[in-house]
Amino acid sequence: MPALSSSSSSSSICTFLLVFLLVVRASNCAAKVTKSSRPPRQLSVNYYAKKCPQLEQLVGSVTSQQFKEAPVSGPATIRLFFHDCFVEGCDASILISTNPRSKQLAEKDAEDNKDLRVEGFQTISKAKDLVERKCPGIVSCADILAIAARDYVHLAGGPYYQVKKGRWDGKISMASRVPYNIPRANFTIDQLLKLFNSKGLTLEDLVVLSGAHTFGFAHCKQFLSRLYNYRGTKQPDPGMDPRLLKALKMSCPQFGGNSDIIAPFDVTTPFLFDHAYYGNLEAKLGLLASDQALFLDPRTKPLVQQLGKDKKRFFQAFSIAMEKMGSIGVKRGRRHGEMRRVCSMHA
């Protein structure tokens, strides 16, 4: 996402939520009626036990402070982890800055990545700086990103799960490889399944990992077509709750709107990592078309309903799915990877 100041971001979020709550209240009154292969070798929870035993505490000191100062750092970092793993594997290639002397743009500068929020990158940069001071040349940026994503899930109220480590940082970062590897806001379930299956992930992984949208925000452009021209009909998406539709239209006009305006994926508990996302889909309160599609498709609907009723099951499944996703395309050794001192620059 574009870099917004914390104050402008908070203001737009609060404005949207206020509008939505007012619309809900008014309506209530009016009607009181790249395929992944086998799991990589040598990833382990205790990978740095001897060389950097304080690693998790170091990263945790950064994530806890960032979360207090800018809560949006949480969803920003988790989204960064998703985008990293889905393109070149979980190798921190998303963190590389484009070389000004190169004609080839790096991943982070791809069109699909331009709205990744700066707070996610800042978290990893700060954590890496701290880790380098204590354990120079030992810990990969890829592992720090995986740990930080887990930390933020837990800080926001979600599960704490062990992170297996041992990833090396990737040597390749190309914007041209991003478009066909990142899910889009208007994807159908067939399109989502094709992409997830290509990464070694299942239908259940798709539904469970989509639950990360239980917190975080999206810019108007990602759901504008649902409000004004759904599937080329020149009409709103009939599958959206009318109250949500009205609130979103007030924040996101069809033409000439503020590109900085954002709306929460989860309108009920936007700052908590819980299972409310799934209940929202049942209530037609999904923000993106790809979110709401999970409830509309008979292949995914039963699991959406089950997870919406059972937070413990969602937390357990999410922990497992994150470990599985975190194993996509892992690099090992100097032949395939590198160990960066600065995450934005190749070693």
Residue 250: is it exposed, middle or buried by C-beta count within 10 angstroms (0-12/13-18/19+)?
A: middle
Structural contact between residues 96 and 106, judged by C-beta atoms closer than 8 angstroms? yes
- From 83, 154, 336, 346, the catalytic residue: 83
What single-letter amino acid sits at 330? V
Structural contact between residues 113 and 176, judged by C-beta atoms closer than 8 angstroms? no
Binding-site positions for Ca(2+) read 84, 87, 89, 91, 93, 107, 214, 266, 269, 274
Is 275 an annotated catalytic residue? no
Structure tokens at 22: 């007012």
DSSP state of 40: P
What is each CA distance from 43 to 39, 166, 317, in whole angstroms?
9, 5, 20
**How far is the C-alpha of 277 from the C-alpha of 269, rounded, in Å?**
9
**How far is the C-alpha of 87 from the C-alpha of 239, rounded, in Å?**
31
Binding-site positions for heme b read 213
Please state the length of the chain.
347
Binding-site positions read 84, 87, 89, 91, 93, 107, 183, 213-214, 266, 269, 274
Binding-site positions for substrate read 183
What is each CA distance from 340 to 84, 93, 116, 163, 257, in whole angstroms?
16, 11, 22, 20, 41
Q: Which residue carries 């975080």 as its tokens?
A: 216
List, by residue number, the catalytic residues.
83
